[in-house]
Structure 1
Amino acid sequence: MVYAEEDYLMLSGIQHFQFCKRQWGLIHIDQQWEDNEATAHGQVLHKKADNPYVKEKRKNVIISRAIHVSSPNLGLYGILDVVEFHKDAAGVTLKGRRGKWRPAIVEYKRGQPKKDTRDIVQLVAQTICLEETLSCTIDVGYLYYHKVNQKKKIEITPTLRQEVFKLAQEMHAYYEGKQVTKAEYFKNCQLCSLANICLPRLSKKSRNIDNYIALALKDEGSL
């Protein structure tokens, strides 16, 4: 399926969607957001990475920042933190540069490697968008974790690509239906910047709350 440009969704949202569909829905459908220490630190970390005027050339590597990309096949658009272009005869041509260059994305994260794949699917989605923008194939990308100062190489496998296409299709289906899933409480909820908006503990105990309200109204009526 090829999406019209007006139907594109934010590329960064795929990480939220894979982690928690309700979190994604609150942000991208209900337009709700609340910063916490983690999100504030992340914004500071991305300031340099998102500056398109900061470019570096290191021998046979060009480092470009804040590259706008999109994918009609995923229906996603966004801005990449950093793309490294390594001199390679099998690469792509770049305007104003001699030779050919092989691109690889470096996505910056404030924390450390996670047990789930939310960062990985975001990187793969970014890679697919960059491939379609540059008309090329990219086999690897990198996740840089600020807390542990670690640059982790990620192979862009067919399995990961299929997962990303499935997630993107689900995102569009939820968005078209304006569907925000019900809250469920998990141990990671306390780390979410939307915890005070989502209120997963209260939602999980909605039956008890309804009983409490009904009882309170009954007591008031008996006065």
Structure 2
Amino acid sequence: MKRKEAPDRFFDEADLLPLSRLADLEFCERRAALHLIEMVWEDNVHTAEGAVIHQRAHGDESPEKRGGLVIVRGLWLRSLRLGLSGKADIVEFHRADDADAMGAVIPGYSGRWMVYPVEYKPGRLRHQRSFQIQLCAQTLCLEEMLRCVVQEGALFYGKNRRRQVVRFDDQLRRETEETAIRLHELVRSGRTPSARYEKKCDSCSLMHLCLPKVAGAGRSVGSYFARMLAD
């Protein structure tokens, strides 16, 4: 895999969007709009569990050294090429051969290091593309910031404490970049998509603010309440 060249166009710092919202957009475009355009937020058991596991992951944010391994927690990331910023739960730096051009040079450490991001998620290990896209976005930030190549990372699921290895192939990278473009287009539009109920809505923290069963059935909120009161 070739090292990426510096981009020709950059986003301004003021236009950077949270890379965590890529997972929202992949899950539901309306959810991403409610967060970013309407600034709506509400917790449920899933978001609360996620907050706890992220706090545990960040812990002491001073670097941890274990021989040929350096662990950095809560590392701030950004990509001016994609217009994204955010905080990585954990980034592992594994000692590499000094001749390995894919490795990163870390200030204060000699030689080159292979970069391995780890994102913590609540629940049990499962395949969820939105999480993989979020992790890949962290990777693209790291590659841009450190001028390196990151081949794989991992999602760590807190319920059963297992890692799921994610390989950053061309398809995942392309999907991630396309999702970043869609996220900026959504924010620039200033429009929140209409709701449409799906089974996944039941696990969303915004379920009671979004009212997907109302809008999804083609009814106005007023007619919905009129019907409920009549019952």
TM-score of the two chains, using structure 1 as the length reference: 0.90
Q: Aligned pair 1:171/2:183, yes or no?
A: yes
Alignment counterpart, residue 112 of structure 1, candidates 124, 134, 150? 124
Shift of 1:60: 1.2
Cα distance in 1 for partners of 2:146, 2:127 equals 31
Q: Which moved more, 1:21-30 or 1:49-58?
A: 49-58
Question: Are 1:37 and 2:49 an aligned pair?
Answer: no
Unaligned runs of 5+ in 2: 1-8
CA distance in 2, matches of 1:208, 1:19: 24
Fraction of identical pairs, as percent? 36
Compute the displacement of 1:97 (Å): 1.8
User: 1:67-103: per-residue Cα shift (whole Å, max 9, x none)?
Assistant: 1111111110111100000000222222222222111
- Greater CA radius of gyration, 1 or 2? 1
One-letter amino acid matched to 1:5: E
User: C-alpha displacement at 1:17, in angstroms?
Assistant: 0.4
Paired residue total? 217
Shift of residue 38 of structure 1?
A: 1.3
Choose which of 197, 203, 206 in structure 2 pairs with 1:185.
197
Q: Deviations over 1:17-40 (max 9, x none)?
A: 001000111011100000111111
In 2, the alpha carbon distance for the partners of 1:212 and 1:128 equals 45
Kept in 2, the 8 Å contact 1:48–1:54? The answer is no
**TM-score with structure 2 length normalisation?**
0.87
Q: Deviations over 1:34-70 (max 9, x none)?
A: 0111111111111132346343212211100111111
Matches within 5 A, 1:16-35: 16-35=24-43
Amino acid aligned to 1:188: K
User: Runs (4+) of structure 1 moved beyond 4 Å?
Assistant: 208-215
Aligned with residue 71 of structure 2, among 59, 63, 69 = 63
Shift of 1:152: 1.1
Residue equivalent to 1:81 = 89
In the alignment, residue 35 of structure 1 is paired with which amino acid?
Answer: D
Q: Which deviations, in whole Å up to 9, do the C-alpha atoms of 1:167-203 show, x marking residues without a partner?
A: 1111111101112111010111111100011010111
Measure the CA separation in 1 of the matches of 2:15 and 2:203: 31
Could you give the per-residue CA deviations for residues 90-143 of structure 1, whole angstroms, max 9, x where no partner exists?
Answer: 222222222221111000001123444011000111100111111111111111
Partner in structure 2 of residue 12 of structure 1? 20
Q: Name stretches of at least 5 consecutive residues in structure 1 with no aligned partner.
A: 216-223
For residue 212 of structure 1, report the CA deviation from its aligned partner. 7.1
Shift of 1:146: 0.9
User: What amino acid does structure 1 have at the position aligned with 2:34?
Assistant: L
Which residue identity is paired with 2:120?
A: Y
What is the one-letter code of the residue matched to 2:43? D
2:5 corresponds to: none
